[in-house]
Amino acid sequence: MTAAVYIVGGTNRTHEELRYSLRSLANCPDITQVWIVGFVPAWATGIRSLPLEPKSEKFANMRASLTALANTKGAPKRFYLFNEDHYIVEPIDGEIPTYHLGSAREYITGPSVWRPKNTWCRAVLTTAEWLRDHDGVEPLAYEAHTPLIFDRARLAEFLDEYPANRALAMSMAYARAGDGGAGENHGNAKVGIESDLAAKRAQDMPVLSGNQASFDGELGDLLRGMFPEPSRFERD
């Protein structure tokens, strides 16, 4: 049995995506505990919390949150790392599978993905380059927008070693601290506003992800139909 850990930043919205992600955990009986690190919405209940003052820069905030969790006594030794817009849309028997998108460098520098001024692209590339230089192998791109299972002790070791002044793509830490094998490439679970939702659902993976625009549109309609009832992690 495994914990789900959510890194939640910002206080300027109601975090409805998180609400529906928590509802979707009913599809994965392996998850028996939830931790929220960072901002804890007032409606959340039945969870373990690690409240943190948010940092203004996104990647610094994610790193600080991961570091706090990795060094918290009593935190789960093994856990799935969720974004609040990850949704389990099919029943899973056992652990959530691991997914990647092939070579990290090839993926992130591909013409359909690479944007030189995009902070996420730069963070993935700089993390991948550091991992390659230190481990001697090209890391895989764990950027399929799906939950990833981590070993907390190995994560703490990696965060201690990775330079503090270097941008860190949170999912890429899986290359060092992941505990679910290399995984398989079945596509990207991210549903954008221009995505073909039917095509995303047809991918061989039980998870979808989204963003605010897609949650306000077709993806949100799907989720609200799938999970109309409150979960045990919500107050009335």
For residue range 26-58, list pLDDT tens digits in order: 999 999 999 999 999 999 999 999 999 888 888
Q: Domain limits at 120?
A: 2-226
Q: Is the dihedral of CA 72, 76, 233, 41 positive or negative?
A: positive
Q: Which residues contact 229 (CB under 8 A, 6 or more apart)?
A: 23
CA 230 to chain CA centroid, Å, is 22
Give a yes or no: residue 232 inside a domain: no
Over the chain, what is the mean pLDDT? Answer: 96
- Report the pLDDT value the prediction gives residue 11, as an integer from 0 to 100: 65
236 within a domain of the structure (yes/no): no
How far apart are the C-alpha atoms of 76 and 192, rounded to whole Å? 32
29 part of a folded domain: yes
pTM above 0.85, yes or no: yes
- Read off the pLDDT of residues 71-81 as tens digits, 9 standing for 90 and up: 999 999 999 99
pLDDT of residue 215: 96
Q: What is the CATH number of the domain that holds 92?
A: 3.90.550
In a domain, 234, yes or no: no
| Residue 235 belongs to some domain of the structure | no
Q: Is residue 177 part of a domain?
A: yes
- Look at residue 47 and give its three-state secondary structure: coil
With respect to residue 126, please indicate whether it lies within any of the assigned structural domains.
yes
How many domains does one find in the chain? 1
Residue 14: predicted pLDDT? 85
